[in-house]
Amino acid sequence: MKCRVWQFRTEQIVQYLYFNSLVSLSLSRSILAWFFRLLPVVLFFICYYCSQFYFESYGGSGKSPEPTVSVCHNFRLQRKWGSLKLNMSRKTELFLKLEDFFWREHLSAEALPYGIKGSELLLLKVLAVISSYTMPANIESSLDCRTCAVIGNGFSIKNTSLGEIINKYDVVIRVNDAPVRGYEEDVGNKTTLRLFYPESASFNPNIHNDPDTLLVLVPFKQQDLRWLKEILYNEKRVRKGFWKPPPQIWLGRTSQIRILDPYFLRLTASKLLQIPLQPHRQQKPIHPTTGILAIFVALNYCDVVHVAGFGYPESRNQKQPIHYYGKETMKSMKNSYHDLSQEGQVLKRLEDQGAILYLHPHS
Ligand X SMILES: *[C@@H]1O[C@H](CO)[C@@H](O)[C@H](O)[C@H]1NC(C)=O
Helix (H) or strand (E) holding 300: helix 290-301
> Residue 5: which region, alpha, beta or left (left: phi > 0; alpha: psi -120 to 50)?
alpha
Closest approach of ligand X to the CB of residue 194, in Å: 13
Closest approach of ligand X to the CB of residue 54, in Å: 28
Give the span between the Cα atoms of 319 and 328, in whole angstroms. Answer: 9
Please give the radius of gyration of the chain, using alpha carbons only, rounded to the nearest integer.
24
At residue 10, the 3 state secondary structure works out as helix
Q: Kindly give, in sequence order, each residue whose CB lies less than 8 Å from that of residue 93, ignoring residues fewer than 6 positions away.
A: 261
Closest approach of ligand X to the CB of residue 183, in Å: 12
Closest approach of ligand X to the CB of residue 321, in Å: 9
Closest approach of ligand X to the CB of residue 189, in Å: 4
Give the span between the Cα atoms of 265 and 289, in whole angstroms. Answer: 9
Closest approach of ligand X to the CB of residue 108, in Å: 18
Q: Which is nearer to ligand X, 208 or 287 (CB)?
A: 208
- Nearest 10 degrees: CA dihedral of 193, 195, 196, 197? 130
Q: Which is nearer to ligand X, 226 or 323 (CB)?
A: 323
Q: Comparing C-alpha atoms, which of 276, 273, 312 is closest to residue 293?
A: 273
In DSSP notation, 218-264 reads ---SHHHHHHHHHHHTTPPPP-TT-SSPPPSS----GGGEEEB-THH
Q: Comparing C-alpha atoms, which of 146, 293, 152 is closest to residue 220?
A: 293
Q: Which is nearer to ligand X, 125 or 158 (CB)?
A: 158
Residues that bind ligand X (CB under 6 A): 87, 158-159, 189-190, 210
Q: Which is nearer to ligand X, 132 or 189 (CB)?
A: 189
Give the span between the Cα atoms of 234 and 284, in whole angstroms. Answer: 34
Q: In the chain, which residue ranges form alpha helices assigned H by DSSP?
A: 2-27, 29-56, 74-83, 99-102, 120-130, 137-140, 163-166, 184-187, 222-232, 263-267, 290-301, 340-352
Q: What is the DSSP letter of 323?
A: B
Q: Which is nearer to ligand X, 220 or 324 (CB)?
A: 324
Q: Which is nearer to ligand X, 190 or 226 (CB)?
A: 190
Q: Which is nearer to ligand X, 93 or 210 (CB)?
A: 210
Q: Comparing C-alpha atoms, which of 291, 307, 296 is closest to residue 268?
A: 296
Residue 264 and residue 113 in contact, taking contact as beta carbons nearer than 8 Å: no
Closest approach of ligand X to the CB of residue 192, in Å: 10
Residue 191 and residue 211 in contact, taking contact as beta carbons nearer than 8 Å: no
Q: Which is nearer to ligand X, 61 or 89 (CB)?
A: 89
Closest approach of ligand X to the CB of residue 87, in Å: 4
Q: Which is nearer to ligand X, 119 or 156 (CB)?
A: 156
